[in-house]
Amino acid sequence: MTSFARAIVSPVAASPSLTVSASPDQLPVLRSLVRTVAAHYALSLGGLSDLVLAADEAATILIGHAFPSSTLTCTFGGDDTAAVQVFLSAATTGQIITSASSFGWHVLETLVDEVVLEELQPAAPGEDWDVTITLTKVLQAGS
């Protein structure tokens, strides 16, 4: 059994992760992972759909700034029993300039309870930026 299969059976015991090429044709695979793993958490059907859409939007933002040959990684946080976290990261060509008034960012803030953008500036000019978008969705009471 692969670690991914074990993680789907018990997402709180391990942190499922998937790395795909940073291209739009990989978005269905990413959505499938998010839908499958998040279904094991105490989310309503609407909350589950919101998290899948938010992961898709965050991945689309990252893909739009990623190098053509880079990868996109999606990892779930499993330590918090009050919320589920999805970490999406990629190496980008530069800093992602976000605006609180941009449509994509507004979509993210509407779909999940918290969105955090972390950008690690390269040590030397010309190197990749390491960018992570963290999505947090609060679980239903009693989970």
Asked which of 74-83, 97-106, 109-118, 131-140 is least confident by mean pLDDT, the reply is: 97-106
Quote the number of domains for the chain: 1
Q: Tell me the pTM.
A: 0.83
Distance CA 45, CA 119 (A): 32
**Is there a domain that residue 31 lies in?**
yes
Does residue 7 surpass a pLDDT of 50?
no
Confidence of residue 78 (pLDDT cuts 50, 70, 90): low
Mean pLDDT calculated for residue range 65-74: 90
The verdict on residue 143 lying in a domain is no
How many CA atoms are closer than 13 Å to the CA of 10, on its beta-carbon side? 6
For the domain that residue 103 is a member of, what is the CATH number? Answer: 3.30.565.10
Task: Point out which residues pair with 77 in neighbouring strands.
Answer: 85
For residue 109, being part of any structural domain is answered with yes
Q: What's the rounded mean pLDDT across residues 25-32?
A: 95
Which of 7-11, 18-22, 40-44, 81-85 is predicted with the least confidence, judged by mean pLDDT? 7-11
pLDDT of residue 120: 85
Q: Is residue 98 part of a domain?
A: yes
> Which domain, by its residues, includes 17?
3-138
Q: What b/e sequence results for 102-128 when a residue is b if at least 16 CB atoms lie within 10 Å of its CB, and e otherwise?
A: eeebebbeebbeebebeeeeeeeeeee
Both tokens of 117, joined, read: 């953008």
Mean pLDDT taken over the chain: 83
- pLDDT confidence of residue 3: 36
